[in-house]
Structure 1
C-alpha cells in the first residue's frame, strides 16, 4: 500500500502545516493538518479493509489472425479500481479500465499471431473514494486460446485439384451427358450430340477423387514457421473442399488422413503449433510446402511454384466459421 500523488500532496501539506505551527506558534495550521492526516489514515484503512479483489472469467473462442473476440470478466471487491488485463504478444486490445467494484469488465481482443495465446493475469489497483491511497494486486486469473494460422483463397472449391492434380488424374472416366449450365467448361461440350439436340450437352465424368488421399508435408527454415503454416493451412483446407482425404506432416507432428470439418480442425490445431524444421517424409509426399528466406514454394511431382502464384486473394475463407 502506498499514498497516491494526491495522498503525498495531502501529507506534505499536513507536515508543512505542523512544522510552521510549531515554529511560529500558529495553532490554526495544526487544525488544518489534523483532518488531512486523519483523511489519509482513514483512506488507508478503507483500502486495506476492502481486501484483495477476486476475478472470474470465461473462455476465449479460437480464431485466426486479424479476427477479434469479446473478452469479459467480473471483478468482485470494493473501492475504486484501475483494472488491466495482461495479454500475450499474439493478442492486442485496450485492456485498462477504471471501475467502481464490483464490476464487469469487457473489451475487444484482436488476434495478431498464431499459436498458444493467453489473456491474464489481471492487475488491479484499488484506491479509496478520495484517491489518497492505493494498493496493487495481481490476480492469477488466465484463459488460454489457440489462434490458427492464416488461410488464403486458392480460387474456388476445385482449385486444389486443378492446380495440384495432374490432368490424367483430375479427369476421370466418362459417365454421362447432361445439359450445359453456366460455369461449365467449353472443353466438356459434346459437340456432335449438341448439334443433334440443338442444345448444348456436356460430358460428365465419374469423380473418384473422394477415394483419393493426399499427403501434405510442410517444412521451414528458422524464423519462417508462420509462412509455412499459412501455406499448409490453405492447401489442406482446399484439398478437403475438393473431396480428398488429407494427411499432414510438419517438423513437430502429424495428423493421419481424414475428411470433414472435425478433421480440418485437427489440421489447423497442428499447424497453429507447428515449428520450423525438416521432416523425414518429404520424399513420400504428394505436396511439399517449403518456407525460407527466398519465400514460400509448393512442389508437386517435381513442379515447383511460388505459393503466392497459386492464391487468388489473402481473404480468409474460414473467417468467422471456425471457432471453439
Structure 2
C-alpha cells in the first residue's frame, strides 16, 4: 500500500502546515491539518479493510482469426479498482477499466492469430473513494483460449472434387442424361444423343467421392506455419463438405481418417497448434500442402497449383458456426 500522487500532495500539505504552525505558532492551521490527516487515515483504513478481491473469468468460445468474443470477469470485493486483464500475443482488445466493486466486468477480445493464447493474470489497482491510497496486486487467474487457423472459401463441393481430388473422374459413374443448363461443362455434353434430339444433353454422374478418404499432408518452412495451417484447414474442410473422409498429417501430429463435426473439430485443433516442419510422409499424400517463402502450393498427383488459384475468396465459410 502506498499514497497516490493526490495522497502525496495531501501529506505535503500536512507537513508544511505542521512546520509553519510549529515555527510561528499559528494554531489556526490545525483546522487544515486535522481534517487532512483524518481523511488520509480513513483512506488507509478503507483500502486495508477492502483486502484483496477475488476474480473468476468466463472463458470465451474458440474461434477463427478476425472474430471477436466477450470475456467476463466476476470480481468480488469492495472499494474502487482499476482491473486489467493481461492478453497474450495473438489476442487484441481493451481489457482495462475502473469499477466500483463488486462488479462483472465485460470486454471484447479479438482473435488475431491462430494458436493457444493466454488470458491473465489480472492486475488490480485498488484505491479509496478519494484516491489518496493505492494497493496493487496481481491475481494469478489464467485461462487459455484456442484460435483455429483461417479457413478460406473454395469453389463449392463439386468444384473441390473436380479440382483437388485425385482420380475424381474415375470415382464417378454414369447415371443418366439430362438437359443442359447454363454452367454445365461442355465436356459433359453427350453429342450423339444431343444430335438426335436437336437439344443439348449432358451426362450426369453418380458421385462416389464418399467411397474413399483423402490424405492431406501439410509441411512448411520455418516462419510459414500460419499459411500452411490455413491452406490445410481450407482443403480439409472442403473435403469434409464434399463427403470425403479426411486423414491429416502435420509436423505437429496426425489425425486418423474420419467424418463429421467431431472430426472437423479435431482437425482444426491439430492445425491450430502445429508448428512448421517436415512430416516425412509427403509421398503418402493425396493432397500435399507446402508453404515457404515463395508462397503456398497444393500438389495433387504431381500437379502443383498455387493455393490462391483453388480459392474463390478469403471469406471464412465457418465464421459464426459453433465450432467448439
Q: Is TM more than 0.5 here?
A: yes
Normalised TM-score (structure 1): 0.94
* Equivalent pair of 2:180/2:200 in contact (CA under 8 Å): yes
Secondary structure in 1 matching 2:176? strand
Residues 168/94 of structure 1: CA separation in 2 closer, same or farther (3 Å cut) = closer
CA deviation map 1:284-313 (0-9, x unaligned)? 111111111221111111111221222211
- Structure 1: how far apart are the matches of 2:303 and 2:216? 15
> Which residue of the partner structure matches residue 127 of structure 2?
127
* Equivalent pair of 2:149/2:230 in contact (CA under 8 Å): yes
- Structure 2: how far apart are the matches of 1:309 and 1:199? 34
Please say if 1:240 is aligned against 2:240: yes
> Which residue of the partner structure matches residue 3 of structure 2?
3
- Structure 1: how far apart are the matches of 2:168 and 2:156? 20
* Equivalent pair of 1:245/1:259 in contact (CA under 8 Å): yes
Query: Aligned-pair RMSD on alpha carbons?
Result: 1.8
Deviation at 1:187, TM superposition (A): 3.3
Deviation at 1:84, TM superposition (A): 0.9
- Structure 2: how far apart are the matches of 1:234 and 1:38? 67
CA deviation map 1:152-186 (0-9, x unaligned)? 11222223222223566366221122344554334
> Which residue of the partner structure matches residue 164 of structure 1?
164
> Which residue of the partner structure matches residue 70 of structure 1?
70
> Which residue of the partner structure matches residue 109 of structure 1?
109
Deviation at 1:198, TM superposition (A): 6.3
> Which residue of the partner structure matches residue 225 of structure 1?
225
Q: For structure 2, list consecutive stretches of 5 or more residues without a partner in the other structure.
A: none
* Equivalent pair of 2:78/2:101 in contact (CA under 8 Å): yes
Deviation at 1:192, TM superposition (A): 4.5
How many residues are aligned here?
324
**Counterpart mapping for 1:198-217 below 5 A:** 200-217=200-217
* Equivalent pair of 2:168/2:209 in contact (CA under 8 Å): no
Q: For structure 1, list consecutive stretches of 5 or more residues without a partner in the other structure.
A: none
> Which residue of the partner structure matches residue 21 of structure 2?
21
Normalised TM-score (structure 2): 0.94
CA deviation map 1:192-243 (0-9, x unaligned)? 4456556654321122111121111111111111111011101111111122
- Structure 2: how far apart are the matches of 1:135 and 1:170? 73
